[in-house]
Amino acid sequence: MASATATGKLSREEFRRQKDLDAARKAGTAPAAVDEEGKAINPHIPQYIAQAPWYLDTGAPSLSHQRIPEYDRSADKLDNWYDRGAKAGPAAKKYRKGACENCGAMTHKKQDCLERPRQRGAKYTNKNIAPDEIIQEVASGYDAKRDRWNGYDPSEHKKVYDEYAAVEAARQKQREEEIDKQTTTDLAAVRKVAKAGKGEGGKDDDFGSSDEEDDDQDKYAESADAVGQKLDTKTRITVRNLRIREDTAKYLINLDPSSAYYDPKTRSMRDNPLKNIPAEEALFAGDNFLRHSGEAPEVQKLQLFAWNAAARGNDVHMNANPTQGQLLHSKYKETKEQLKESTKGSILARYGGEEYLEKAPKELLQGQTEEYVEFSRTGQVIKGKERAAIRSKYPEDVFINNHTSVWGSWFDTASGQWGFACCHSFIHLSYCTGSAGITAAAESSAKNLLASSSSSSMPPPPVPASALEPSSQEPSPLSSHDKEDRKKKAEELFSKKRLGEGEVKLNEQRLADAIREERERKRKGRADDDDDPWGKGKRKKAGEEVTEEELEAYRMNRRMTEDPMANYVDEEI
DSSP string of 401-428, one letter each residue = TT-SS-TTSEEETTTTEEE-TTT----T
Asked whether residue 58 is domain-assigned, the answer is no
pTM over 0.85, yes/no: no
Answer with the one of 347, 374, 407 that is the final residue of a domain: 347
Domain hosting 166: range is: 161-239
Asked whether residue 336 is domain-assigned, the answer is yes
Answer with the one of 224, 239, 254 that is the final residue of a domain: 239
> How far apart (Å, rounded) are the C-alpha atoms in residues 51 and 58?
11
Instruction: Give the CA count within 13 Å in the CB-facing half-sphere of 21.
Output: 14
> How far apart (Å, rounded) are the C-alpha atoms in residues 384 and 568?
36
**Running along the chain, 573 residues long, what does each successive block of 10 average in pLDDT?**
54 92 92 90 92 89 87 62 83 92 94 93 92 85 80 86 95 90 58 58 47 52 51 54 73 88 88 85 84 83 92 89 91 94 92 82 68 80 70 77 85 84 86 86 76 57 47 50 73 58 72 88 64 51 73 78 66 62
Check residue 5 and give its pLDDT: 46
Asked whether residue 192 is domain-assigned, the answer is yes
Check residue 471 and give its pLDDT: 42
**Which long-range contacts link 439-444 to residues 24+ away (Cβ below 8 Å)?**
441/412
Asked whether residue 37 is domain-assigned, the answer is no
66 within 8 A of 49, measured Cβ to Cβ: yes
> How far apart (Å, rounded) are the C-alpha atoms in residues 208 and 195?
8
Partnered with residue 238 across adjacent β-strands are: 231
Cβ within 8 Å of residue 496, ≥6 positions away: 502
Answer with the one of 213, 239, 265 that is the final residue of a domain: 239
Question: DSSP letters along 11-61, please?
Answer: PHHHHHHHHHHHHHHHHTSSPPPB-TTSPBPPTTS-HHHHSPPTTT--SS-
CB count within 10 Å of CB 436 equals 10
Asked whether residue 416 is domain-assigned, the answer is no
273 within 8 A of 253, measured Cβ to Cβ: yes
> How far apart (Å, rounded) are the C-alpha atoms in residues 58 and 149?
39
Asked whether residue 572 is domain-assigned, the answer is no
> How far apart (Å, rounded) are the C-alpha atoms in residues 418 and 408?
5
How far is residue 168 from each of residues 177, 192, 207, measured CA to CA in Å?
Answer: 14, 19, 16
> How far apart (Å, rounded) are the C-alpha atoms in residues 462 and 87?
162
The alpha carbon of 159 is separated from its chain's Cα centroid by a whole number of angstroms, namely: 58
Q: How many domains does the chain have?
A: 2
How far is residue 421 from each of residues 4, 315, 318, 435, 529, measured CA to CA in Å?
Answer: 130, 77, 74, 10, 34
Asked whether residue 47 is domain-assigned, the answer is no
> How far apart (Å, rounded) are the C-alpha atoms in residues 239 and 550?
89
Question: At residue 342, what is the residue type?
Answer: S
Asked whether residue 247 is domain-assigned, the answer is no
